[in-house]
Structure 1
């Protein structure tokens, strides 16, 4: 009897940020993101020098949890989401916890993109969404086997989700998405006239 099974699954965690911990006021979080961006001259300079559209605090700030209490609340909630995802992934953490490595703000204007990348040296990466106007880009996730497919034909347009080479996830404000840090992903062009705001982060172990 023929049997076909799925092996080596790639997991994606999606939940409302409010499912764990103190409810987060997304409006206050948005205001805090703009306030930090306005004051972060080093971050503004880095974005200009590196051709980054909009603003990111990735290369300039490491203390968001200290700057505004709402970021401290956010980290507490993210810790619980990451712990839940790690449990689902059945990691053997040897009695240790995954800990926040870095957290940063992304403000992407109309026409802005973030090219395909991974997050080396981390275990779990993710993003929570602060402002997603209509037309703002989804998150694009790439099948990690793509480089090994060689002469494989393209998938059908209506292929089952788990068989597709790329998955587009359209998060809502207040969502948190988590994935293992080796999973290649990108943010396609923001087609909205308004800015797309998110807060991204990495967790490591050991």
Structure 2
């Protein structure tokens, strides 16, 4: 009897921050993001010099959990979500847990994009969403096999989601998304009339 099975699955973790503790005050987190963005002159300069739309603290600040207590609480919450995802992935971590490598703020203005990229040297990457106004960009994920599909025909529009070359995930405020760091992703054009605010992070092992 013939059979078809699914191999080499790409996992995407989606949850609400509130599913793990400590509780995160959404209003305080958003206010903290804006406060840091307004004071971070080095980050503003980096964004201007590199044509980065809006603001990111990625290239300027490495100590967010020590600047505002809410980021320290956020990391404690993220640790628990990442642990749950690592268990789902059946990672054998031995006596070396996954630990936060870096965490940064993203404020994407109307018309802004974040082009396709991966997160080298990390194991799990993710984003938690602080402000997602109507019309804000979804997260676009790319099938990691895509560069090797040289002669593959296109898929039918009604093909199963897992068979498409790209997947779009529309987050809601308070959501957290996690994926393995080799998964290529991007943020398409922000069609909202307000800023899309998120906090992204990487976890490494060993």
TM-score tier after normalising by the smaller chain length: over 0.9
TM-score by length of structure 2 reads: 0.99
Q: Does residue 1:83 correspond to 2:78, yes or no?
A: no
Give the CA deviation at 1:96. Answer: 1.3
Give the distance between the partners of 2:121 and 2:61, measured in 1 at CA.
19
Give the distance between the partners of 1:153 and 1:168, measured in 2 at CA.
20
Give the distance between the partners of 1:62 and 1:6, measured in 2 at CA.
40
Give the CA deviation at 1:22. Answer: 1.3
Other-structure match for 1:69 = 69
Give the CA deviation at 1:158. Answer: 1.4
Structure 2 gap ranges (5+): none
Other-structure match for 2:181 = 181
Other-structure match for 1:56 = 56
Residue deviations 1:17-40 (CA, integer Å, cap 9, x gap): 011111111111000000000000
Give the CA deviation at 1:205. Answer: 0.3
Matches within 5 A, 1:27-176: 27-176=27-176
Other-structure match for 1:13 = 13
Give the distance between the partners of 1:48 and 1:205, measured in 2 at CA.
33
Give the distance between the partners of 1:38 and 1:50, measured in 2 at CA.
18
Other-structure match for 2:205 = 205
Structure 1 gap ranges (5+): none
Give the distance between the partners of 1:90 and 1:75, measured in 2 at CA.
22
* Aligned partner of residue 186 in structure 2, secondary structure: strand
RMSD across aligned positions (CA) = 0.5
Give the distance between the partners of 1:198 and 1:121, measured in 2 at CA.
22
Give the distance between the partners of 1:129 and 1:43, measured in 2 at CA.
20
Give the CA deviation at 1:70. Answer: 0.5
* Aligned partner of residue 91 in structure 2, secondary structure: coil
Give the distance between the partners of 1:137 and 1:92, measured in 2 at CA.
35
Give the CA deviation at 1:94. Answer: 1.4
Give the CA deviation at 1:2. Answer: 1.5
Give the CA deviation at 1:157. Answer: 1.3
Give the distance between the partners of 1:50 and 1:65, measured in 2 at CA.
26
Aligned residue pairs total 206
Structure 1 runs (4+) deviating above 6 angstroms are: none
* Aligned partner of residue 3 in structure 1, secondary structure: coil
